[in-house]
Amino acid sequence: MLDINRILQNPEELLNSLKKRGVNISDIESKIKEVATKQKQLKQEAEDLRAERNKVSKEIGILKSQGKDIAEISASVKGVGDRIKEIEEELTKQEDSLLELNIGLPNILDETVPEGKSEEDNVQVKTWGDIPKFSFAPKTHYDIGEAMKIFDFERGVKLSGARFYTYIGLAAKLERALMNLMLDTHTSQNGYNEMWVPVLVNDESMTATGQLPKFAEDFYRLEKDGLNLIPTAEVPLTNFYRDEIINEKDLPISVCAHTSCFRREAGSYGRDTRGIIRVHQFQKVELVKFTTQENSKEEHEKMLSDAESILQKLGLPYRVMLLCSRDISSASSKTYDIEVWMPGLNRFMEISSVSNFKDYQARRGKIRYKSKEGKNLLVHTLNGSGLAIGRTLAAVIENYQLEDGTFSIPEALKPYFR
């Protein structure tokens, strides 16, 4: 959610951002202009009426001191007061109308976000590691996993349906080892405090982080209980401080959590239908930061580095992409995607998104901090995958595969296999 005063005072900033996102702005522009014009007229009328009331009130005082009849002039003052009350009610209606519009608006893009029409226009800002060369044709993670009998997709479908899977033996242990490596690295080296959070959250939580109302079809809902399965631990972690005021001396706050995540993958059918790349339930370690406006850019870059550190430990080659205006999520102001190389799939695959939401989520969730000057200000929130565990597992299998159809374990994971 955006600052209403900012929208009314500088509508062009919002409209330009919406244009870059490819949003049709005609209705939005007319609505903002309508509300802004109406509010200006009403506020001016209210100001004039208050001035008139003050003037007449002084006249009443003089008339009373002179013992004159004030009934008629008092009635006129009451009429002015009634009109001021009507104006205040109308202003509230206008604000509610704008609030209804505002709750569905995307975040204002950071000035460094490149303009583009699709993921093809994302900008590569960094690469790390060398693409592995094999003396044989590399296989996909799902072919290797099924041949080794450590993946069972058929029984996953039997248990739950399409896009579910099961791990057996080595794959299950590898997933657990990756989780521990990620959590140990982020807590002992990158400065995050580990948390354990619910995977079912209420609608207020989903609204604060931007899943509601726009993406209601993308997650699983338990209608009877009024609860939702989380698409990412970003939701409970960010909402931990909802409706609270943090002391500035405690910022930045960096937290992380491992959770199961649940997504319908609406609109993604036909994409990555095989394997464990695009599924309905998966494990992820999530990173979340709360910081001041002045430090959010620096903390965003640091979070990106924190997420990269896992891939570097695992020796997995990757690239960092700055998302363009039409590929970025609606709640984010600026996002980097980290894409790991997948030899079997012969392409880069997203394994982490690291986003700066600025005050967009904090305004929805009323997450504030008390500054040194005693003012209550909105925090800036950031989040990133640190990493998606299933996709990391797939990347390990494909990059460390051997000619005999198995794969080796990266050095960083070997302590977790003892």
Is 264 marked as a binding-site residue? yes
Is 353 marked as a binding-site residue? yes
Is 368 marked as a binding-site residue? no
To 5 degrees, how large is the angle CA 7–CA 13–CA 16? 125
Is 383 marked as a binding-site residue? yes
Is 259 marked as a binding-site residue? no
Is 263 marked as a binding-site residue? yes
Is 215 marked as a binding-site residue? no
Indicate if the alpha-carbon torsion angle 288, 292, 295, 296 is positive or negative: positive
Is 232 marked as a binding-site residue? yes
Is 234 marked as a binding-site residue? yes
Is 56 marked as a binding-site residue? no
What CA–CA distance (Å, rounded) separates 234 from 382?
9
Is 352 marked as a binding-site residue? yes
Is 135 marked as a binding-site residue? no
Per the listing, tokens 């207020």 go with 204
Is 265 marked as a binding-site residue? yes
Q: Which amino acid is at 257?
A: A
Is 282 marked as a binding-site residue? yes
The sheet that has 368-370: what strands, in order across it?
245-247, 368-370, 376-378
**Residues for the chain: how many in total?**
418
Task: Provide the token pair at 176.
Answer: 């657990």
To 5 degrees, how large is the angle CA 284–CA 384–CA 240? 85
Is 76 marked as a binding-site residue? no
Is 305 marked as a binding-site residue? no
Is 281 marked as a binding-site residue? yes
Residue ranges of the annotated binding site are: 232-234, 263-265, 279-282, 286, 350-353, 383, 385
Q: Binding site for L-serine: residue ranges?
A: 232-234, 263, 286, 383, 385
Q: Binding site for ATP: which residues?
A: 263-265, 279-282, 350-353
